[in-house]
Amino acid sequence: MMLYRPFENKLNVLLSEHGMQRAQWTILYYLYHFGSATLVELAHYQGVEKPTVTRTVNRLEELAYIEQVPSKDKREKRIMLTQLGKKVYVETRVPIDEFEAEILKGITEHEQLDAIRIMEEIRNNIMK
Amino acid sequence: MMLYRPFENKLNVLLSEHGMQRAQWTILYYLYHFGSATLVELAHYQGVEKPTVTRTVNRLEELAYIEQVPSKDKREKRIMLTQLGKKVYVETRVPIDEFEAEILKGITEHEQLDAIRIMEEIRNNIMK
DNA sequence: GGAAAATAGTTACCTAGGGTAACAGTTATC
DNA sequence: GATAACTGTTACCCTAGGTAACTATTTTCC
């Protein structure tokens, strides 16, 4: 139940040491791996409400990490990473990977995959 | 990585529907199962700094869910649940259990125990 | 036994991050 | 073409966390 909280807190600290915030990082992560997204898509991915995404996206735009891409549907705002955004993602990835390696010490790859699979099942149950 | 966030958010919403906040709930949970605790103990358990605990504990005292117990060491503030606190814990437990049952649907008990064990190992790695 | 260090908790101040309600603009439905 | 649904924004509220600096006790250790 409360197992994950320390992980979350440490990650926040780690990210802010690199001038990044978790909510921002989550979106960079999504865009890096999925190319582009609308705000609703991001809200669903993060499991938060739309205004929350608007805020984070605004900050990312000010930082010039993302830019808008044209879309047929004039309602939606589709965004993608800029060159700078990609650069920042890749650079921030390094300490994140180190952190992950550290906290996964002593846990076999098989166990890791098991845990991730189960967590994903839980996630699916939550999201539906 | 981001798997847990939706769980956290849904739990927050569920708790606030029952007039409770997650940080408060975490402390009620600890006290219900471990009897009493100092603020440092709680900070370590939650993986947060001391001022954060002070705040949450103050609110729980205002609500009369906890009370101070005398201690030899005059520096420390040792607290435990009041009768009201226990009652509230037990009552809030009900919707929490329902929620947990729902999100664990389709996941065998064996898998659940596996996942918990692995998460605990990760937690230990983080805390040291 | 007393000075210095460590420990427990608090206060003040700052930030991130989330929620709801109400709204405008656009697209789908029928 | 009217109505419903969807996308995003704005305004306002709250929780939750952090750091720095402090007081009051207890421990350490010379």
Produce one character per residue of A114-125: b if its CB has 16 or more CB atoms within 10 Å, e if not: bbeebbebbbee
Distance B43 CA to C10 C1' (A): 14
Residue A3 lies in a domain: no
Note the pLDDT of residue A70.
94
Q: Which residue of B has its CA nearest to A104?
A: B122
Q: Point out the residue nearest to C16 (C-alpha to C1').
A: A21
Q: What angle do CA A13, A16, A20 make, to 5 degrees?
A: 135
Verify if strand D has an atom below 7 Å from the CB of A52: no
Residue A5 lies in a domain: no
Contacts of B45 in chain A (CB under 8 A): 2
Residue B3 lies in a domain: no
Q: What is the mean pLDDT of residues A85-100?
A: 92
Output the tens digit of pLDDT for each of chain B's 128 residues.
555 666 777 788 788 888 899 999 999 999 999 999 999 999 999 989 999 999 999 999 999 999 999 999 999 999 999 999 999 999 999 988 888 888 888 899 998 888 888 888 888 887 76
Note the pLDDT of residue A14.
84
Verify if strand D has an atom below 7 Å from the CB of A73: yes
Residue A2 lies in a domain: no
Residue A121 has pLDDT above 90, yes or no: no
Lowest mean pLDDT among A61-75, A76-90, B94-108: B94-108
Q: Which domain holds residue A79?
A: 10-127
Residue A67 lies in a domain: yes
Residue A82, token pair as written in the block: 């800029």
CATH number at residue B104: 1.10.10.10
Q: Min CA distance, B72 vs chain A (Å)?
A: 30
Residue A1 lies in a domain: no
Helix (H) or strand (E) holding A119: helix A109-127
A113 close to B (CB below 8 A): no
Residue A14 lies in a domain: yes
- Tally of domains in chain A: 1
User: Hey, which bits of B16-106 come out as E strands?
Assistant: 36-38, 66-69, 78-81
B114/A112 CB distance under 8 A: no
Nucleotides of C under 7 A from a protein CB: 7-13, 16-21, 25-28
Most confident of A2-6, A14-18, A42-46, B100-104: A42-46
Q: Rounded to an integer, what distance in angstroms lies between the CA atom of residue B115 and that of residue B7?
A: 15
Q: Rounded to an integer, what distance in angstroms lies between the CA atom of residue A26 and that of residue A36?
A: 13
Residue B43 lies in a domain: yes
Average pLDDT of chain A to the nearest whole number: 89
Q: Rounded to an integer, what distance in angstroms lies between the CA atom of residue A64 and that of residue A66?
A: 5
